Structure 1
Amino acid sequence: MAPLRRLLLCLCLPLLLPPPAAPAPAPGPRTDWVACRSLSRELSRLVATLKEPHRVLEETQLSEEDPKNWPPRIRCSDACDPSTLDTNNTRCLQRILQGLQHYRDLLGSDIFTAHRLPRLEATLDQLLGLVQQEHGRPPRHSLAPSETWAHPLLQHLALQRLQSFAAIMSRVFTHSASAR
């Protein structure tokens, strides 16, 4: 009987003991909120100082026909509000990363071939690098070539959208840098 009892104890004992503690995840690189705040402000400043090369477009408000061809926008559901940012900023940073990557791809596309914006591209690259440290690189999307005649219109629309995106993103980074 003793061997049978010993066997049962050996088989049941692991069920009675608490599971071994999972190793703590290694801390990954954290978002540098202060640097992101600085770069997002610089991006907003750069976009705001761009001069419209085609004066007729200065007061033009364009609307897109197909919104799925345009960048991710920061929405309420992205949890970028101050109360949510203080507890969980992952979803918001992923949306910002998607938008930054979209605008970087757009600035590198044929739309801006004749009108390169190297300082804007460099600032976007730096900001992308900071946000990617923690959240990885989103997939790059190649944009379909567009008609040359449409480039000024598409540039105007892209820069308007980037200015709006940069303003909201800057608010997110300003709040998060101040809260840390």
Structure 2
Amino acid sequence: LAGFSMGGAIAIRYMARHEGADISKLILLSAAAPAFTKRPGYPYGMRKQDIDDMIEQFKSDRPKTLADLGKQFFEKKVSPELRQWFLNLMLEASSYGTIHSGIALRDEDLRKDLAAIKVPALILHGGKDKIAPFDFARELKRGIKQSELVPFVNSGHGAFYEEKEKINRLIAQFAGS
């Protein structure tokens, strides 16, 4: 099972809720987890008020808010066309889905779920991630017993594109082991 960004949080919740079901390995790519917002005992991520403000911006001008978010996605230079393609992908989500994703990111705390993961986990995360800070990956490594953390030192949230050859090689090795 692999999850990117918010999909990483969903994969963690699935593993905990369903005791891993028939999943033998977990891959977390730039996971927006174990918590996206600061809270007691967790000084990482955004303030809850910042997410509330973003939700209000989604309601008033979702395309601009998503475009601004997209500017933080890559650390390395990408073409304007690729950036536009990513914006188009984000705009395909419904307004309702975008707002409720913001609410979930603001409110969910998966720290207790990490101990329920009983399979090997590969954590791949950009060292310069401005959306899901690298501290998230350190917390995932600390909470998942059978985990390996591979930092992508010069990449951002879009490390899967910025260092695609390395990520593909690591995923193939992990899946084949």
TM-score calculated relative to the size of structure 1: 0.25
Judging by fraction of residues, say which structure has more helix.
1
Judging by fraction of residues, say which structure has more strand.
2
**Structure of greater Rg:** 1
